[in-house]
């Protein structure tokens, strides 16, 4: 009886090895051209081995894709805290230290000023006393919803507002600076035009705070009453 072209087991093994190397269905198809006696063994072995390898490759691909998606999710949801709870913000909100953090809150408080802030306070809206600023700051700490992320990238400024309707008993009057100290232009010494603020404005900024605090950090950069 004439033997089929792949009846010889040595030749069948050659087809199997080739299929294992290529993991290609076309090779499996070639191995399928055997007589009945050898056909089942070769085809089943090739199918199982190639399928196992493909399944393993699929598992690896799924793991890699899953890891990449998880990385994207983590990047998209970087940790953020309420701005008024960030340690450097809390420290910089102490007006006596604000200027050393490179903030200029003092330029908006009568008789305080900000030594390293060159702009004149004339015409700026101000609080008439340190106590008034501290009152409205305490209110912001209670109601703040602004978020300051650990790594802000280009989004390095956050604004918080207290509307007059939400200020309650913490509402204080605002004024316009009329006169400044001759030696410190940012220090308002006389005010005019008392007004009832429509909102209280706070700006948090992520900036270089050296040498007070190494590197860049969130600070309370400025705060003032507004009447617009």
Are the C-beta atoms of residues 226 and 171 closer than 8 Å to each other? Answer: no
Let me know whether 41 and 108 are in one domain. Answer: no
The mean per-residue pLDDT over the stretch 64-83 comes to 61
Tell whether 85 is covered by a domain.
yes
Range with lowest mean pLDDT among 34-43, 119-128, 214-223: 34-43
- Could you say which of 76, 94, 120 is where a domain stops? 76
- Could you say which of 45, 76, 107 is where a domain stops? 76
Tokens found for residue 71: 């990385």
Tell whether 132 is covered by a domain.
yes
Tell whether 213 is covered by a domain.
yes
pLDDT grade, residue 216 (50/70/90)?
very high
Whose CA is closest to 225, among 114, 136, 117?
136
- pLDDT value of position 34: 36
Per the model's pLDDT, the better-predicted residue between 92 and 1 turns out to be 92
Let me know whether 110 and 208 are in one domain. Answer: yes
Burial annotation 105-118 (CB, 10 A radius, 16+ → b, else e): bbbbbbebbbeebe
pLDDT grade, residue 19 (50/70/90)?
very low
- pLDDT value of position 113: 97
pLDDT grade, residue 67 (50/70/90)?
low
Tell whether 2 is covered by a domain.
no
CB neighbour list of residue 114: distance below 8 Å, 6 or more residues apart: 98, 99, 103, 104, 105, 106, 107, 186, 187
pLDDT at 212 over 60: yes
Number of domains the chain contains: 2
Let me know whether 68 and 95 are in one domain. Answer: no
DSSP state for residue 2 in the 8-state scheme: P
pLDDT at 14 over 80: no
Let me know whether 89 and 67 are in one domain. Answer: no
Tokens found for residue 184: 């410190």
What is d(CA 7, CA 37) in angstroms, rounded to the nearest whole number?
8
- pLDDT value of position 11: 53
Let me know whether 68 and 41 are in one domain. Answer: yes
The mean per-residue pLDDT over the stretch 39-57 comes to 43
Tell whether 92 is covered by a domain.
yes
- Could you say which of 76, 108, 135 is where a domain stops? 76
- pLDDT value of position 151: 83
Let me know whether 207 and 126 are in one domain. Answer: yes
- pLDDT value of position 78: 58
Tell whether 110 is covered by a domain.
yes
The mean per-residue pLDDT over the stretch 73-85 comes to 72
Range with lowest mean pLDDT among 50-64, 109-123, 211-225: 50-64
Tell whether 1 is covered by a domain.
no
β-sheet bridge partners, residue 220: 204
Whose CA is closest to 136, among 164, 104, 176, 110?
164
The DSSP-derived string for 173-211 is -EEEEEEE-SS-TT-EEEEEEEE--SEEEEEEEEEE-TT
- pLDDT value of position 141: 96
Let me know whether 13 and 113 are in one domain. Answer: no
Q: Kindly report, residue by residue over 28-38, the tens digit of the pLDDT.
A: 343 333 333 33
Let me know whether 30 and 48 are in one domain. Answer: yes
- pLDDT value of position 69: 53
The mean per-residue pLDDT over the stretch 143-149 comes to 94
CB neighbour list of residue 177: distance below 8 Å, 6 or more residues apart: 110, 121, 122, 123, 124, 125, 126, 188, 190, 191
Let me know whether 37 and 134 are in one domain. Answer: no
Let me know whether 135 and 219 are in one domain. Answer: yes
Tell whether 4 is covered by a domain.
no
Domain hosting residue 31, numbered range: 9-76
Let me know whether 54 and 87 are in one domain. Answer: no
Is the pTM higher than 0.75? The answer reads no
Let me know whether 118 and 175 are in one domain. Answer: yes
């Amino acid at each position: 009886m004439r033997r089929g072209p792949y009846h010889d087991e040595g030749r069948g093994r050659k087809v199997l090895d080739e299929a294992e190397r290529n993991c290609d269905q076309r090779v499996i198809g070639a191995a399928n051209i055997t007589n009945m006696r050898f056909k089942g063994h070769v085809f089943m072995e090739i199918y199982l081995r190639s399928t196992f390898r493909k399944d393993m490759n699929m598992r690896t691909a799924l793991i890699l894709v899953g890891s990449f998606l998880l990385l994207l999710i983590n990047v998209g949801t970087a940790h953020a805290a309420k701005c008024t709870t960030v340690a450097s913000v809390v420290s910089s909100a102490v007006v006596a230290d604000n200027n050393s953090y490179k903030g200029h809150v003092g330029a908006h408080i009568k008789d305080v000023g900000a030594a390293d802030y060159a702009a004149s306070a004339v015409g700026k809206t101000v609080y008439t006393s340190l106590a008034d600023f501290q009152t409205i700051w305490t209110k912001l700490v209670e109601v703040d919803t602004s978020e300051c992320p650990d790594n802000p990238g280009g989004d390095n400024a956050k604004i918080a507002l207290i509307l007059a309707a939400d200020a309650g008993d913490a509402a204080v009057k605002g004024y316009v600076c009329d006169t400044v100290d001759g030696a410190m232009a940012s220090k308002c010494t006389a005010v005019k035009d008392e007004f009832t603020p429509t909102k209280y404005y706070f700006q948090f900024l992520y900036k270089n705070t050296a040498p007070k605090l190494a590197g860049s950090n969130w600070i309370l950069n400025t705060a003032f009453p507004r009447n617009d």
